[in-house]
Chains A and B, each alone.
Chain A
Amino acid sequence: MSEQPQHTRVMLVDDTPARAAMLEQALTDCGFQVICRMASAQGLMKQVAEHQPDVVIVDIESPDRDMLEHMTVLNQHLPKPVIMFAEQGDSNTIDRAIRAGVSAYVVDGLNPERVRSIVDVAVARFREFQALRNELQQTRTRLADRQVIDKAKALLIQHRQMDEDEAYHAMRKLAMDRSQKLVDVANDIVSVLGLLAPKSQRTRDQ
């Protein structure tokens, strides 16, 4: 198996540099040759003609996918082999790839096992990257949640003459009674009491 794998040539099209770098590293570690990394498919046709890749891996959210599709039609008139989506028969691989956000265009005739392992690497890296992004998002959300809860607490203390503990427990009870999340209750309180605040301010000013 040592003679053929080194020569599987991969082209990456991904406008997320961090992910493209991760993917390139992973593919290189697996013994694939990443011959070209592009942020967009602009000039892709020229690049494909020049580098003659065996596989093109594309971020599914790239609008340039339609250009690759066009090449499959065009290639009927060119000497280059037809480029197509992964291994047509292997719907499981295709399904996983699409759900993970990656799509692969493969030169016809490339060993199916080889294709699958490239796609597997890409899918794993795309998932990993997505997980990182989600985690960051969650951290941000948690922080935002806490700010809303604190603000609601402060409003309760101000308007209902509660102390901090009472305010917190009142919110918890309301959340349980309404089977809502604490942050949703806090949002309601902020929107209601937040409206009252400037008004009462105005009354006092007059």
Chain B
Amino acid sequence: MKTDLTLGYMPLTDSLPLLAAAQLGFFRDQGLDVTLQEEVSWANIRDKVIVGQFDGAHMLAPMVMASTLGLGGLNKPLIAPYSLNLGGNGMTLSASLYRELESTTRGRPGPASLKQLIEQRKLEKQPPLVLAVVFPYSSHNLLLRYWLASAGIDPDRDVTTVVLPPSQMVDHLRLGHIHGFFAGEPWNAVATADGIGCCVATGRDIWQNAPNKVLGVTEDWARANPDTLDALLRALYRAGAWLDGNRAQAVSLLAEYLPVDRRALAPALLGHTGYRPDSGDAPEPDLLVFHRYLANFPWVSHGYWFLNQMARWGWLPGDQDLSAVAAACYRPDLYRRALADTPLPGQDWKGEGIHAGPWRLETSQGEIGMGADTFIDGEEWQLRSMNFLHQSAP
């Protein structure tokens, strides 16, 4: 069994499962000697996983499908055998733009007020607003586009989208190069703490408990190293459980890796959107979920939704059998193998957008609590509508 591993990560709050597993000795307890390597771009993460410089990495879920389908700069079949987190990202607009929206809206500004502003700007012959995302094939970009489209804003024509590294978002916002961004924490909290931006929507406002990052490995690597993969998943699972139970310690642990003000690391981890202008003191414990709600299970329906959105925006070549691609990339069978002694659901798919509040799911170890999964526009994705021919695990 291969025990010396190198794993890549981007310095973000949701890289914590890897950081915690390394710091707390969970990798070592599984017999793994893991070197973590910080990366500067998502493209690097993907490329280094593909050429074998990394055994696996903290990865954007849609990137796994994009690389498998040959849409990226470098392509090879990648798989997601494990989900690292739900939520943990959000959208920030420049403080001045936010105030402008506020002045024209009753209640909390949302996509509808942005639509109004965009139409106004068109009449005044002003250039389109510039919004930044971290990578084209990311839950960030897909959630941003979903949010815009929910109010009739065309993400390709009505705004200009650019790509920036997460760590540069706040500076570009400060310099006025962009009007807003959609990025992972802590960058929304940093922009707010600096008084430069206001969070107009968290990922949760668009899709509650939306999938975000996964552990990405090549299909070849997973096939060649089954025991190592099992050990890796077990270490990460333990880290996820620890993170959900020890949020305050998680802030301290993260502070060792991320050179930003601790006050900006806390909101997502401690579950208070103190940075959202109108949130008051109401706690939001589900801003970022590492473990509960079966958060680590790689639901094929999550992959399906991402693919469906990629098809919606015309990014997929030809006719693709989305459910087949989703089932090839999302690999609950590997999760089930590694974590056989943990609660496992009866199916690999679940309906999305159909649970408005907490609900119970029957698992191999009795019922467990699940989180809401509704969308901003109330769209429902029933299992029968997803055409899941490949529902049973291979």
A interface residues (Cβ-Cβ under 8 A, vs B)? 45, 60-70, 72-73, 76-77, 84-85, 88, 91, 94-95, 98-99, 103, 105
Other-chain residue from B161, B162, B315 in contact with A76 (beta carbon distance below 8 A): B315
Q: Is B167 an interface residue (CB 8 A)?
A: yes
Other-chain residue from B40, B135, B137, B163 in contact with A61 (beta carbon distance below 8 A): B40
For the complex, give the distance between the alpha carbons of A62 and B164 in Å.
11
For the complex, give the distance between the alpha carbons of A171 and B162 in Å.
60
For the complex, give the distance between the alpha carbons of A63 and B44 in Å.
9
The interface residues of chain B, by DSSP majority, are classed as loop
Q: Is B168 an interface residue (CB 8 A)?
A: yes
Given the contacts A67-B163, A68-B73, A85-B74, A95 and B43 also touching, CB distance less than 8 Å: no
- Whether B44 and A77, one on each chain, are in contact in the complex, defined by CB atoms closer than 8 angstroms, is no
* Interface size counted on chain B using CB atoms at 8 A: 28
8 Å CB contacts to A: which residues of B312-352? 314-315
Residues of B within 8 A of A72 (CB): 72-73, 136
Q: Is B75 an interface residue (CB 8 A)?
A: yes
Sampled A-B contacts (20; CB under 8 Å): A45-B162, A61-B40, A61-B44, A62-B41, A63-B167, A63-B168, A65-B40, A65-B41, A65-B43, A66-B42, A69-B43, A69-B72, A69-B73, A70-B136, A70-B161, A72-B72, A73-B137, A88-B75, A95-B51, A99-B51
The residue on A at minimum CB distance from B66 is: A73
6 pairs of A and B residues whose beta carbons are closest in the complex: A70-B163, A63-B165, A85-B73, A65-B41, A73-B136, A65-B43
For the complex, give the distance between the alpha carbons of A65 and B314 in Å.
23
Other-chain residue from A65, A69, A77 in contact with B136 (beta carbon distance below 8 A): A69
Question: Could you tell me the distance in whole angstroms from the C-beta of B364 to the nearest C-beta in chain A?
Answer: 40
For the complex, give the distance between the alpha carbons of A170 and B45 in Å.
48
Given the contacts A63-B165, A63-B167, A66-B165, A73 and B43 also touching, CB distance less than 8 Å: no
19 further interface pairs, Cβ-Cβ under 8 Å (given A66-B164, A70-B136): A61-B44, A63-B165, A63-B167, A64-B165, A65-B41, A66-B163, A67-B162, A68-B43, A69-B42, A69-B43, A76-B314, A85-B47, A85-B74, A91-B51, A94-B47, A98-B48, A98-B53, A99-B51, A105-B73
B interface residues (Cβ-Cβ under 8 A, vs A)? 40-44, 47-48, 51, 53, 71-75, 134-137, 156, 161-165, 167-168, 314-315
Residues of A within 8 A of B134 (CB): 66
- Whether B135 and A70, one on each chain, are in contact in the complex, defined by CB atoms closer than 8 angstroms, is yes
Other-chain residue from A45, A77, A88, A98 in contact with B47 (beta carbon distance below 8 A): A98
The residue on A at minimum CB distance from B310 is: A73
- Whether B73 and A70, one on each chain, are in contact in the complex, defined by CB atoms closer than 8 angstroms, is no
For the complex, give the distance between the alpha carbons of A103 and B73 in Å.
10
Residues of B within 8 A of A65 (CB): 40-41, 43-44
Question: Could you tell me the distance in whole angstroms from the C-beta of B320 to the nearest C-beta in chain A?
Answer: 15
Residues of A within 8 A of B72 (CB): 69, 72
Other-chain residue from B41, B74, B164, B168 in contact with A94 (beta carbon distance below 8 A): B74
Residues of A within 8 A of B156 (CB): 77
Residues of A within 8 A of B315 (CB): 73, 76
- Whether B135 and A63, one on each chain, are in contact in the complex, defined by CB atoms closer than 8 angstroms, is no
- Whether B164 and A67, one on each chain, are in contact in the complex, defined by CB atoms closer than 8 angstroms, is yes
Residues of B within 8 A of A85 (CB): 47, 73-74
Residues of A within 8 A of B163 (CB): 66-67, 69-70
Question: Could you tell me the distance in whole angstroms from the C-beta of B32 to the nearest C-beta in chain A?
Answer: 23
Question: Could you tell me the distance in whole angstroms from the C-beta of B74 to the nearest C-beta in chain A?
Answer: 5
Given the contacts A70-B135, A76-B314, A62 and B73 also touching, CB distance less than 8 Å: no
Residues of A within 8 A of B137 (CB): 73
Residues of A within 8 A of B74 (CB): 85, 94
Q: Quick one: which of A72, A98, A99 has the most chain B CB within 10 A?
A: A98
Question: Could you tell me the distance in whole angstroms from the C-beta of A45 to the nearest C-beta in chain B?
Answer: 8
Q: Quick one: which of B51, B163, B168, B314 has the most chain A CB within 10 A?
A: B163
The residue on B at minimum CB distance from A88 is: B75
For the complex, give the distance between the alpha carbons of A91 and B220 in Å.
15
Question: Could you tell me the distance in whole angstroms from the C-beta of A59 to the nearest C-beta in chain B?
Answer: 10
Question: Could you tell me the distance in whole angstroms from the C-beta of B197 to the nearest C-beta in chain A?
Answer: 20
Question: Could you tell me the distance in whole angstroms from the C-beta of B13 to the nearest C-beta in chain A?
Answer: 18
Residues of A within 8 A of B41 (CB): 62-66
For the complex, give the distance between the alpha carbons of A85 and B74 in Å.
6
For the complex, give the distance between the alpha carbons of A72 and B135 in Å.
11
For the complex, give the distance between the alpha carbons of A98 and B54 in Å.
12
For the complex, give the distance between the alpha carbons of A95 and B167 in Å.
27
Residues of B within 8 A of A70 (CB): 135-136, 161-163
For the complex, give the distance between the alpha carbons of A67 and B168 in Å.
12
